Amino acid sequence: MQQLTNTITSTPVWVWIILVAIIIVGFALSREHKLNFWRSGIVASAFCAWAIFYVSTRLSPVHFAVPVLIAGGAIGCFVGLRYVAARRLETSPEIPHLTLRGSWIPFLVIIAVFFARYYHGMRLFFDQNAGDAISVIVPVALTMGFSSGFFLGFSLAAFRHARYQSRLILAGKLEEDR
């Protein structure tokens, strides 16, 4: 109990602000919303770049952390592709976005990254040598890889779905003109 109290009191205020912001974003994602393709691609790219930078600069040995990151990314990409394929998406032909039903899954992915980073930071705070431990490297690299892959797969599948829908709409309009 004392360690939990020390952990909570040792946490900077900005970390709690980020957690509140993540929770607010999570509630927004749980409702039906419009997904902009460009924003989706930027989020996926940012997650990938951040994960690669973080794992290659903060986790050691890097030769172990990077393959774990790649494995997590491959699994996350597959799950992201399947996640979009399993949902009913509505495409608007005039505006480049999809209408998504609300879901807690993206929120859970983001919150998992938050807690993996928090775990890593707290382990380093209490024990400077803990950063090299396999018990720290694997969950952090795997979680960051999974989240990057998930959002990348999600963006690719959403873009593919929109392209398919646009082709169907365009083919329908062309047949009506004849």
Instruction: Please list, in sequence order, all residues whose beta carbon lies within 8 angstroms of the beta carbon of residue 86, skipping any fewer than 6 positions away.
Output: none
Query: Domain boundaries in the chain?
Result: 2-177
Strand partners for 100? 33
Strand partners for 35? 98
Q: From first to last of its 178 residues, what are the pLDDT tens digits of the chain?
A: 777 787 778 888 888 898 898 888 888 877 877 777 777 788 888 889 989 998 888 887 888 889 999 999 999 999 988 887 676 565 555 555 667 777 788 888 889 989 988 888 888 877 777 767 788 889 999 999 999 999 898 888 878 877 777 777 677 654 554 4
User: Measured between alpha carbons, how far is 20 from 2 in angstroms, rounded to an integer?
Assistant: 24
